[in-house]
Structure 1
């Protein structure tokens, strides 16, 4: 295709009026969600909205995020080994200014959407040109971008992109995305549980019995606003104890999300004696259910098998509301496989703006990734 060009926007109010029509295939590139990022981005994040045009017609939309790791108080405090200390040193000194072409806050192929097929050659060229434009944008602000990462592509797309402008970029694979393809004949939780082997049916019964004193309730916008501080503290505990973070949500993130997206964003609270001890959130993206951030009180989590019960509740919501699949993301791989999710490996691509470091990025990058070992489970007959 000819006459493809792009424009980078820094505010939702600047976007073309046809933006949401072009982004109709992905809620995460529509203005309600992008407004959430604009109004409640992490303190170390700035978002850019990219319109892709053919002549004067908007045919594609994309998202980029700048992350300043110098503003992050912690990369994650669960692990304190030498490798973690080395990773933190390297990130602070050689990779603290990062541009993500895509969305670093969610897992999945959400980098771009198009209203017509422009081919992977055009896509790769446009994405590379956008990254260079952002590098120059920050250079004018006296900020040197260290790393550029093109985030989350399924295998077919990754292979296609590598045939063109991505061919000289370093391809990396982090932890797999845990995806649960729901069976069409499951109409209720009873159908789901009946498909388990005895071992996992017993696990389900044990988890449900452990949480019998807990009340699950979907929270309205008013309730999310009232409980905002508690929601954030529960989220922050889990996030801070993760093996690795590049951002922390802002304190008004959940209420902003609920205000902007309404029933596309669902918040479920777990109450013990009227006290909020945990929550999980879901994003409704067409026929795909996306799990989002959650939080819990560690003491009650262990005693009530809270996290496992959250996974069961998310799955049952997906079945009862006839979603085709659930995106569970990259953490807690083994326990997610125990409820039926399967690993799907995705590719990312990156380059370092320092040519010497970039030459050895294939040796350096694997040392920055947290090690993960896990056993794949199959709960079904």
Structure 2
């Protein structure tokens, strides 16, 4: 009997490994309430807000129409060890590229299983119980993803799995995915600001900047914003202005090249209610009209500059709405007592001038069809992403570590 070539035999063994049970107990659910929510809290307590039942159940009610949540709770005989947040998103060509400029009009749709959260940036797919060893549990995460994808056949084939926003600290523990036919691809980085010691107000932040950067903030952002008659206010009653927020969100959202989902109007008050004191909305106002908004979240020790929307016409006419909203969120982050501020992965240059540094992120991708999956890896290596420019806005003696 002729033996199989070594390379083919290795692939077959890896495929068998993918289909082998991890040895952990895995519960999979469409709704969080179908799981033991107290076990979920045991795993996720005091960790990211994005794993909290309050947030996840809010998404179930007020999340995007083309997004369906899935959950997995991984346990052993000693109790719950990991919580997995998944989303099945149905996308089409309408979700990609510049609106109105697509040459291809084929009604192509695809269901994608995402381990993570499309509404956020960061590793919000897997949460490990305190004291656990992530490298021991990632094979169980792969097991949960495989089982979830297989369960979806009755609702429609789910061909692609994406494990979203793997940070540097997650790369080695999740490396088992590479042995299970997943391919890694680097994405645009998350821009993160680490504030120098002794910064307790926005004025302290400005005092730590080199003079040319400090003068630029004052003369190019604050001065023209104020001169145009605008002011920045904290928004306490989100429900009363949801229509305004939605309009501004759409003006910003529809301009993006990648739009895998669209939030609805009821999302904004639902988010405010779910997050409570952790979240603050700021609005840019002229007279009684809102021209922009930004959402700032206190997520454990990190402040997240999250959703943003602004009036495109006013911005085109020279009002620095976007930059002023970023500084409003930065001010709130300092007020939260956070030294680490996550600004997200777009508009890398202006965020670098604020003092942010790039935090590399990657995704793991796997297609269910072996032949297509083999083609994915070289294609992913061709994907280019924007690199963050290098700036040193802080005084030499005040550079963050």
Matched, 1:216 2:232: yes
**2:355 paired residue number:** 340
Cα root mean square deviation, aligned: 2.3
SS at structure 2 position matched to 1:291? strand
What secondary structure sits across from 2:394 in the alignment? coil
Task: Output the CA distance in 1 between the equivalents of 2:157 and 2:336.
Answer: 47
Which deviations, in whole Å up to 9, do the C-alpha atoms of 1:354-378 show, x marking residues without a partner?
A: 21111111233355x5753653332
By how many angstroms is 1:225 displaced? 1.3
Match of 1:67 among 66, 70, 89: 89
Partner of 1:34: 56
TM-score, structure 2 as length reference = 0.85
Residue 92 of structure 2 is aligned to residue 77 of structure 1: no
Report the secondary structure of 1:329's partner residue. coil
C-alpha distance in structure 2 between counterparts of 1:362 and 1:166, whole Å: 11
- Do structure 1's residue 350 and structure 2's residue 365 form an aligned pair? yes
Instruction: Give the Cα separation in 1 of the matches to 2:129 and 2:173.
Output: 19
Equivalent residue number for residue 166 of structure 1:
178
- 1:173: how far off? 0.6
Residue of structure 1 aligned with 2:286, choices 272, 275, 287: 272
Contact 1:282 1:291 in 2 (8 A): yes
Is 2:215 aligned against 1:202? yes
Q: Does 1:310 align with 2:322?
A: no
Q: Report how many residues are paired.
A: 367
1:323 aligns with 2:338: yes
The answer to whether the Cα contact below 8 Å between 1:124 and 1:166 also exists between their aligned partners in 2 is: no
User: Alpha-carbon deviation of 1:75?
Assistant: 2.4
- For residue 145 of structure 2, give the secondary structure of its aligned residue in structure 1: helix
| 1:76–1:241 Cα contact (<8 Å) kept | no
* 2:9 equivalent in structure 1: none
Instruction: Say whether the 8 Å CA contact 1:40–1:253 is kept in structure 2.
Output: yes
- The answer to whether the 8 Å contact 1:40/1:250 transfers is yes
**Counterpart contact for 1:60–1:115, Cα < 8 Å:** yes
Q: Pick closer, same or farther for the CA change 1:49–1:239 going to 2, 3 Å.
A: same
- The match for 1:237 is 251
Larger radius of gyration: 2
* Equivalent position of 2:123 in the other structure: 109
d(CA) in 1 for partners of 2:25 and 2:337?
Answer: 39
Runs (4 or more) in structure 1 with deviation over 6 Å come to none
- 1:9 corresponds, among 29, 47, 57, to 29
Report the Cα offset of residue 190 of structure 1. Answer: 1.7
Give the gaps of 5 or more residues in structure 1: none
Which runs of 5 or more residues in structure 2 are unaligned?
1-21, 396-401
Single out whichever of 117-126 and 329-338 deviates more from structure 2: 117-126
Q: Give yes or no for contact 1:3–1:55 (8 Å, CA) kept in 2.
A: no
SS in 2 for 1:350: strand
Q: Distance in 1 between matches of 2:99 and 2:392?
A: 28
